[in-house]
Amino acid sequence: MIILGVDPGTATTGYGLINKEGQKHTLIKYGCVLTPAKTPLCDRLDAIFDELSEIIDEYKPEHIAVEELFFAANSKTAIAVGQARGVILLAGKKKGLAVHEYTPLEVKMALTGYGRADKNQIQQMVKTLLGLKEIPKPDDAADALAIAICHANTFRPEA
């Protein structure tokens, strides 16, 4: 089963594709949708929607897992992340993917069994669980892979 994990942000949206076969996960691809500073918001959202739609067409993931946030440093950040999440969820929906959402706590628990794990611990687990030589860069891509692994380890198909 191919899973697309996404870490939403208007300036940088990270994505990671993994293949779950039984208990083993393998890396397919990871990266970021980057938009230059001063790019109008609409163009950023358009780029996020289009690039994710293209990735879905090319790699045909069955599920998309997106970070779910309830808290943010401030309203401005929350609205910005919400806007990116909106077009990411829409891209998944339009392509007929099953959409799943996980909180940062759920991601931490799924990867380390410890809800207060820090960013470095999560990234080390991403590296280990996918058998990589290095931690994926940038952080947004590593976070997206963590969300994909969280879904792979959490999701149980309904009987």
The question of whether 140 is a catalytic residue gets the answer yes
User: In the complex, what is the shortest distance from the CB of residue 52 to a second copy, in angstroms, rounded to a whole number?
Assistant: 12
The answer to whether 85 and 8 have CB atoms below 8 angstroms apart is yes
7 is an active site residue? yes
Minimum Å gap between C-beta 92 and a second copy is 7
Q: CA-CA distance, 35 to 89, in Å (whole number)?
A: 19
User: Which value, in Å, is the radius of gyration of the alpha carbons in the chain?
Assistant: 15
Per the DSSP assignment, residues forming a β-bridge with 12 are 34
CB 6 within 8 A of CB 132: no
| Spacing of C-alpha 42 from chain mean position | 21
* Cβ-contact 33, 52 below 8 angstroms: yes
Question: Binding marks (x or -) toward a second copy, 29..68, rule CB under 8 A?
Answer: -----------xxxx-xx--x-------------------
Q: Binding residues for a second copy, how many (CB under 8 A)?
A: 30
Residue 61 dihedral angles phi and psi, to the nearest 5°: -65, 150
CB of 101 to a second copy, least distance (A): 8
Per-residue interface string for the shown chain with a second copy, residues 88-117, x marking contact by CB under 8 A: -xx-xxx----x-x----------------
- Minimum distance from residue 105 beta carbon to a second copy (Å): 15
Catalytic positions, please? 7, 67, 140
Binding site for a second copy (CB under 8 A): 40-43, 45-46, 49, 69-72, 75-76, 78-87, 89-90, 92-94, 99, 101
